[in-house]
């Protein structure tokens, strides 16, 4: 057995993989948010369409996108493997201890939260990414260049209050998922320090609140603008 297979078969290796893929996905969220906030620039979608166009034609970004999808898949697959392993190791749970005193609600429900985020992601990709890549999106002129009108797809989607509500609730799930995932990833990597761990936990909580709140603001603001 090679060291890669050995590592991936061990619980520690699987946890490491979850942590590393989680870090990458956290980074993706920051970049994705920065791009999406351009939807709120009052220029009729010009900045956002230019950004979406530049991302679509850039070979480096296209490679990162494929890696991103691969890492999302790994993160999901290994979360299922780890959950199964944990259930096997402790089928009845701790009878005498009250779980809520030892752990947070989010940490005990990472699987459920992850599943809800996965459902969000599938709906999200179907609504935006798939329509842009495999549909026939409207075109718009940016200077002399004709580009996909990604902006109008998002505008149309966020006219629907049910869709907006779905995004906002999903961002609450994302916040809880990140509130445990961020600090937990550092711990898995062995970064466990008397002085720095409380700081990492605080930064993690701040991140878990800020990023999903800003994401949730986008559909809310666009819905209000559409009224």
Binding site for ligand HEM (CB under 6 A): 32, 36, 39, 52, 55-56, 65, 68, 117, 121, 124-125, 128-129, 132, 150, 154, 167, 174, 215, 218-219
The distance of closest approach from Cβ of residue 216 to ligand HEM in the complex, given in angstroms and rounded to an integer, is 7
Nearer residue to ligand HEM within complex by CB, 20 or 56: 56
Q: β-strand 145-148 against 139-142: which pairing, if any?
A: antiparallel
Q: Are the C-beta atoms of 52 and 145 separated by less than 8 Å?
A: no
CA distance 21 to 3: 19
The distance of closest approach from Cβ of residue 56 to ligand HEM in the complex, given in angstroms and rounded to an integer, is 5
Token digits of residue 62: 């296209």
Nearer residue to ligand HEM within complex by CB, 55 or 200: 55
DSSP 8-state class, residue 147: E
CA distances from 157 to 68, 72, 164, 167 (A): 24, 24, 8, 11
Nearer residue to ligand HEM within complex by CB, 76 or 121: 121
* Phi, psi (degrees; rounded to nearest 5) at 147: -125, 165
Nearer residue to ligand HEM within complex by CB, 63 or 192: 63
Nearer residue to ligand HEM within complex by CB, 130 or 196: 130
The distance of closest approach from Cβ of residue 18 to ligand HEM in the complex, given in angstroms and rounded to an integer, is 16
The distance of closest approach from Cβ of residue 1 to ligand HEM in the complex, given in angstroms and rounded to an integer, is 33
CA distance 160 to 1: 53
Residue nearest to ligand HEM (CB): 65
């Amino acid at each position: 057995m090679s060291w890669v297979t050995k590592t991936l078969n061990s619980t520690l290796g699987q946890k490491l993989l979850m942590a590393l893929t989680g870090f990458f996905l956290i980074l993706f969220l920051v970049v994705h948010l920065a791009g999406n906030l351009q939807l709120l620039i009052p220029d009729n979608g010009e900045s956002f369409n230019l950004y979406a166009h530049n991302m679509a034609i850039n070979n480096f970004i296209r490679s990162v996108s494929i890696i991103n999808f691969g890492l999302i898949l790994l993160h999901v697959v290994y979360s299922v493997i780890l959950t199964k392993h944990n259930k096997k190791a402790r089928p009845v749970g701790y009878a005498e201890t009250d779980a809520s005193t030892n752990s947070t609600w989010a940490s005990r429900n990472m699987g459920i939260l992850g599943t809800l985020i996965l459902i969000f992601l599938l709906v999200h990709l179907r609504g935006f990414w798939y329509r842009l890549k495999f549909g026939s999106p409207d075109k718009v002129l940016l200077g002399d260049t004709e580009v996909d009108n990604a902006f109008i797809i998002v505008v149309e989607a966020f006219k629907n209050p049910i869709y907006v509500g779905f995004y906002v609730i999903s961002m609450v799930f994302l916040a809880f998922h990140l509130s445990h995932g961020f600090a937990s990833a550092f711990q898995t990597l062995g970064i466990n320090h008397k002085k720095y761990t409380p700081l990492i936990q605080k930064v993690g909580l701040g991140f878990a609140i800020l990023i999903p709140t800003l994401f949730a603001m986008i559909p809310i603001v666009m819905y209000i603008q559409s009224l």
